[in-house]
Amino acid sequence: MRNLVGSIFSSTALALCLAAGTTQVQAHHSFAAEFDANAPGELTGVITEVRFSNPHVRYRVAVTAADGTVEDWEIQVGSVTALRPQGWLADSIKVGDTVSVTGTLGRNNAKKITGTGIEVANGRKFGAAAITADAPRVDRNAVNASPDINYARAQINPDHPFDISGPWRNSYKFRTTVDDLEPKPTPYTEEGRILREANTKYDDPALRCIALGLPRLFGNPYNMDIYDAGDEYVFTYVEHNAVRHIWMDGRTPPEYTVPTANGYSVGHWEGNDLVIETTHLLPGWLDGSGLPMSGEGTRTVERYVFQDDHLAMDRTMTIFDPLYTQPLTRVRGSAREANLDVSEQESCDPAGYYTDLLDADLLEKYLKP
């Protein structure tokens, strides 16, 4: 534990695995690359700067140690999209506020801490700090829906076995999309291993506000909305305001189809299971740890298995990619719930990414064409 007398001290009870309703600092990129899970800590200081934007909200805070010296620290929390449902907004924590923070310290003595829980001097609490006996941690694996309520909009195609339109909560059965693919150990080809070892956290497209696309989009916890358009399903995700067209009329990709972040998807029903196959994907990362994806040779197959009451589903994605000697799988879930927020996500600002490059003296390296 770093010894900054009086201002920062160990917190043995800190919960490092956060439930829904607190910040999701690991959702996009490898938490382990920037923060040390074995170094919990706390600090108290005065906010000097607020950057309330996706992909991660950041605060600068002046921390005064026992000897009177003042240090400039960074608090990094989840995305605006994750904070908004908690009532954690741009003006919730302002310049000049005194805050007490619990979190996990940055690696290599970096003056950074995750904002797992934040308490403002005026008494307002956010994240883990707001969890009390009167406001308990939300169970994201519970289905908070009633069979007496119709959560769907309208089923246009009568050939579909039931109506899946309307909002879905993708934090149900959520796992961090970092090193979550099976099997383990990862079955690389030699080319795949070389590409993985070459990737660093600064290569992560998410930090540069580039749309994640598939297969990472499938793994994220933010809500989605499904529209039944007859010959297709339209999936809209709060994450990056992404839209997918799932063609259900038996068509195949035209010859002129170009690769995109979400690829070209065709679907069909197998009994009560929805199956979606996607091709024509751009190269990128399979997860937040940097597993490479070939793009041109990548094919994904999703299977959506619905509960009998249609209020929840288990989703499995199988990834076929020539950089791996066998298919990889990712498992998630979705559930119905009243009053889900599927409004447009706030814009993404890569300023934090370039600031990190500047601080690490890597700006010139990563800006080269």
Same domain as 83, residue 207: no
Residue at 251 is within a domain: yes
pLDDT digits (tens, 9 = 90+) for 305-333: 999 999 999 999 999 999 999 999 999 99
Same domain as 170, residue 279: yes
pLDDT score at 65: 85
pLDDT score at 368: 66
Same domain as 306, residue 255: yes
Same domain as 63, residue 26: yes
Residue at 193 is within a domain: yes
What is the domain extent for residue 123?
Answer: 1-138
Q: Which residues pair with 112 in a beta bridge?
A: 74
Instruction: Tell me how far apart the alpha carbons of residues 211 and 55 are, in angstroms, rounded to a whole number.
Output: 11
Same domain as 28, residue 172: no
Given a contact cutoff of 8 angstroms between Cβ atoms, the answer to whether 215 and 319 are in contact is yes
Higher pLDDT, 346 or 284: 284
pLDDT digits (tens, 9 = 90+) for 72-112: 999 999 888 888 878 889 999 999 999 999 999 998 888 99
Task: Give how many domains the chain has, as a whole number.
Answer: 2
Higher pLDDT, 133 or 25: 133
Pairing of strands 112-114, 70-76: parallel
Residue at 143 is within a domain: no
Query: If pLDDT is split at 50, 70 and 90, which confidence band does 132 have?
Result: low
Instruction: Tell me how far apart the alpha carbons of residues 91 and 100 are, in angstroms, rounded to a whole number.
Output: 17
pLDDT digits (tens, 9 = 90+) for 2-37: 333 333 333 322 232 333 334 444 444 556 668 888
CATH number for the domain spanning 203: value is 2.40.128
Residue at 150 is within a domain: no
Residue at 146 is within a domain: no
pLDDT score at 1: 34
CATH number for the domain spanning 99: value is 2.40.50.140
Same domain as 204, residue 96: no
Buried b (16+ CB within 10 A) or exposed e, 18-42: bbbbbbbbbbbbbbeebbbeeebbb
Lowest mean pLDDT among 5-14, 72-81, 219-228, 275-284: 5-14
